[in-house]
Amino acid sequence: MSESFIPVGTLGEGFAPGANVLEETTDLTGQTLTLRLDTQITLRIGDGVASWGEHTDVPVRITSIRPGVYLVDGIADEVSTTFVLDVDAAAVTVVEGRLPDAATREESAFTRVRRGDDPTGVAARIGHGGIDRPASAPHAPTTELVGLRTRYTYSPTEVYEHIYLNPDLYTWHCLSGVEKGLADTDRCHHIAIRERLTLFVWREKIVPTLGVVLIDLDAMRTDGKIFGNDGFDAGSVVAFPVGARAEISNVTPN
């Protein structure tokens, strides 16, 4: 059993051997997409890189958990950016995540809550829109996962369970691996991408962490990434891909 919480860099090292991640795809290579959100973004995708806004040739990981649905993920200027594209429905969701600065991470959760802020200093901005035209059916919040207790096998050694309590909170518990025995309840966001396909975003408060994964309840698998600091300081950022085989252990009626 782990005696204490560990930094995200160490977590990534534990997840890496034999990880159940999706292979990358080149389906979008060479394409230019106009994303119509609050502001218009031009997303240009090259060979293992993408450009948007002021960012040019950012290394990205591109995967497809279902035909027509793509996850384009990278880090630019210490900001985690994930594009979830449904090219068939011409709909897009963008998740931008920022880690807390040194002063914010020194605050206790109690201090933050007393001030009226979230317990976590990790910030996530989530926007929805269309691809090349306004979305006729934009992605939107969902409660499809709420009530599920799900077991995720990320690798031969790393196994977790999630309990989706409500649209804003979930509990994670490490059953096996480098965090064995650790658990917590953290802030989260649920976005419906397609039927039985949810974009799940979580923000941890003890070790500043952002998680962004697609959960496919038909294929019973996930794909995404975890973003945080390499160590316990605010001096570096790191991200690593995650994917898991999923099993539903229990369902609590809402």
* DSSP assigned state of 22: P
Domain range 8-251, CATH class: mainly beta
Nearest to 65 by CA among 248, 217, 238: 217
Q: Is the Cα dihedral 113, 116, 118, 123 positive or negative? A: negative
Q: What is the DSSP string of 192-221?
A: EEETTEEEEEEEETTTTEEEEEEEETTTTE
Nearest to 66 by CA among 189, 212, 220: 220
Q: How far is CA 69 from the centre of its chain?
A: 15
Cα(217)–Cα(58) distance, rounded to whole angstroms? 31
pLDDT score, position 21: 97
Residue reference for tokens 């697609």: 214
Looking at the chain, how many residues does it have? 254
pLDDT score, position 35: 98
Q: 121 with 115: CB under 8 angstroms?
A: no
Q: Is the Cα dihedral 177, 180, 182, 185 positive or negative? A: positive
Coil, strand, or helix at residue 150? strand
pLDDT score, position 117: 94
First to last CA, the chain: 33
pLDDT by residue for the chain (254 residues), tens digit each?
456 899 999 999 999 999 999 999 999 999 999 999 999 999 999 999 999 999 999 999 999 999 999 999 999 999 999 999 999 999 999 999 999 999 998 999 999 999 999 999 999 999 999 999 988 899 999 999 999 999 999 999 999 999 999 999 999 999 999 999 999 999 999 999 999 999 999 999 999 999 999 999 999 999 999 999 999 988 899 999 999 999 999 999 87
Neighbours of 106 (CB within 10 A): 11
What tokens does 127 get?
């926007």
* DSSP assigned state of 194: E
Neighbours of 253 (CB within 10 A): 4
Cα(225)–Cα(90) distance, rounded to whole angstroms? 23
